């Protein structure tokens, strides 16, 4: 299978198994964002691991991870408030 074939077929496989079409590059984004979320002090390592030329993407992933964390915290507050009523 060629690189183009994998890139084209991969979203079909993820749609079938996970219900969402993801391209291979999305897994890089997920890994970088997860890494930044679990270990923000070392978010810059994604630059070296993923081969980015600058730390700009690492900073973007760290901001995304922070936003996800804050959204999850807010969602927990909302759910707890509704349960206590």
pLDDT tens, position by position, 33-57: 887 777 877 777 777 777 777 778 7
What would the mean pLDDT of 76-82 be, rounded to a whole number? 89
Q: What pLDDT sits at residue 61?
A: 72
84 membership: H or E segment, kind and range: none
Structure tokens at 28: 């890089």
Show me where the domains of the chain are located. Answer: 24-83
CB-CB contact of 21 with 15 (8 Å): yes
What would the mean pLDDT of 70-74 be, rounded to a whole number? 85
Distance from C-alpha of 31 to C-alpha of 48, rounded to nearest angstrom? 13
What would the mean pLDDT of 56-71 be, rounded to a whole number? 79
Distance from C-alpha of 78 to C-alpha of 59, rounded to nearest angstrom? 29
pLDDT digits (tens, 9 = 90+) for 1-37: 676 777 788 899 999 999 999 888 888 887 788 877 7
């Amino acid at each position: 299978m060629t690189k183009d074939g994998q890139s084209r077929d991969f979203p079909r496989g993820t749609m079938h198994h996970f219900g969402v079409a993801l391209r291979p590059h999305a897994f890089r984004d997920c890994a970088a964002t997860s890494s930044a979320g679990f270990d923000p002090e070392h978010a810059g390592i994604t630059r070296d691991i993923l081969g980015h030329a600058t730390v700009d993407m690492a900073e973007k992933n760290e901001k995304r991870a922070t936003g996800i964390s804050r959204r999850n915290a807010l969602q927990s507050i909302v759910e707890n408030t509704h349960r206590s009523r």
